[in-house]
Amino acid sequence: MAESLDFKVTGGRKLSGSIHTNFSKNGSVVLLCAALINKGKTTLHGISHIEEVNRLIEIMESIGVKVTWVKKNTLEIVPPKKFAMSKLDKDAAAKVRSSLMFIGSLIHHVPKFNLPHAGGCKMGNRTIAAHRYGLEELGVKIVTKESHYEISAKKLKPADIVMYEAGDTAANNILMAAALIPGTTIIRFAPPNYQVQELCFFLEKMGVTIEGVGTTTLTVHGIKSFNAPLEYNNSEDPIESMMLISAAIVTDSKLTITRAPIDFLSVELLKLEKMGLKYTKTKRYKSYNGRTDLVDLTIMPSKLKAVSDKIHALPYPGINTDNLPFFVPIATQATGVTLIHDWMWETRAIYFTELNRLGAQLTLADPHRVFVTGKTKLKAAQVVCPPALRPAMIILIAMLAAEGTSILRNIYSINRGYEEIAARLNSIGATVEVLKGE
């Protein structure tokens, strides 16, 4: 397991130059889970070297899957003839919520198994209702026990499913289960978010026909099985692009961000444009998967003003819920009062108020809404990372702008979702030093 690490940040420095967008974190985790659908070898390019991926690999290896890093971001995955579910690494599985997506792939090979209750970011109650109700329609039975879920299936069958809520991981679970059920499964109220589209592109390479990719209704024509060498390229991470956009704005810098997945940033950029952001973008070009559209963005120093309405997330194509927190440090540098409404998570907005330690003026209206008063001058401080990925990252962004030396304690939350983030930020002018935790 990873040792405790801290960041020492010397803030108040301008960022400059160019930085590429890394491969998608959420795409990486869903592709790892989906690789188990294939009885043959799967080669995945563009897999993030992050702690969440490490935990999934630990789970896979514990049940007999052979997982090999053949290059920095390329994995080879070979499933066993028989999965050793009794040896599943319970500690690793309990640390990441994405382990839930093994249900959709493993149910094709193992008729009955247990999976520990899933962890991940601590942001209030996160039920598995959307997973359960959708998978039950396909013939999967999920029984909740005190420490684990009991998963079983006697006979899988196609179905016409209305999702209980538009959850990405739930949609992915249902898609993976439907992929190897011969016949037609319809998934209604599916979120067309980037990781769901990524999974659809991957399943299509297996020969699964999916109508409606990029819409809220997916029609899946399942196949009986798949056992052949398969190679696939994961695309770039719009959430990392948004993080870099936020860092450039908060430090009042000119920065070029290449390989940004524009279709998953368009509303965010429009909102920022209306706040006064000046930026340029290139013509579209394709990611390595041949499907996702990318652009290069150049963010310019700009005078921002608060929007008159609220900033809130919505299912795609609205502002992505993972991008919403990055508007908080931005709002500290916009003149006026910005209302940010994080309705999806029960307690995440409470973590936003940690920016007050750095001189921000945030008022918590309730567990879902914060008022941010700007423009404020941020100052250095010592802060402990909250146990949630994006709230931890916005503290680091604010520290980049805060003059003086800040310490961010216990950065596991950040390493769970960002690859080599200190070195990457340093390459564009930041000063972030990694320290061993006390």
- DSSP characters over 369-421: EEEEEE----B--EEEPPSSHHHHHHHHHHHHHSBEEEEEE-THHHHTT-SSH
Helix 194-205 with 168-179: angle, nearest 10 deg: 10
Could you identify the residue written with the tokens 């003149």? Answer: 335
Whole-angstrom distance, CA of residue 47 vs CA of residue 236: 10
What are the tokens at 164? 């209980």
Residues 6 or more apart whose CB falls under 8 angstroms from that of 91 comprise none
Q: Which domains does the chain have, with CATH numbers?
A: 5-22+236-436 (3.65.10.10), 25-233 (3.65.10.10)
| Nearest by Cα to 418 from 434, 436, 402 | 434
Tens place of pLDDT per residue across the chain (438 aa): 457 899 999 999 999 999 999 999 999 999 999 999 999 999 999 999 999 999 999 999 999 999 999 999 999 999 999 999 999 999 998 888 888 999 999 999 999 999 988 755 443 445 789 999 999 999 999 998 888 899 999 999 999 999 999 999 999 999 999 999 999 999 999 999 999 999 999 999 999 999 999 999 999 999 999 999 999 999 999 999 999 999 999 999 999 999 999 999 999 999 999 999 999 999 999 999 999 999 999 999 999 999 999 999 998 999 999 999 999 999 999 999 999 999 988 889 999 999 999 999 999 999 999 999 999 999 999 999 998 899 999 999 999 999 999 999 999 999 888 999 999 999 999 999 999 866
What are the tokens at 158? 């196609």
The amino acid present at 286, given as its one-letter code, is K
Helix 129-137 with 168-179: angle, nearest 10 deg: 20
What are the tokens at 375? 């423009």
Burial of 258 (0-12, 13-18, 19+ CB in 10 A): middle
DSSP for 32-68 reads HHHGGG-SS-EEEES---SHHHHHHHHHHHHTT-EEE
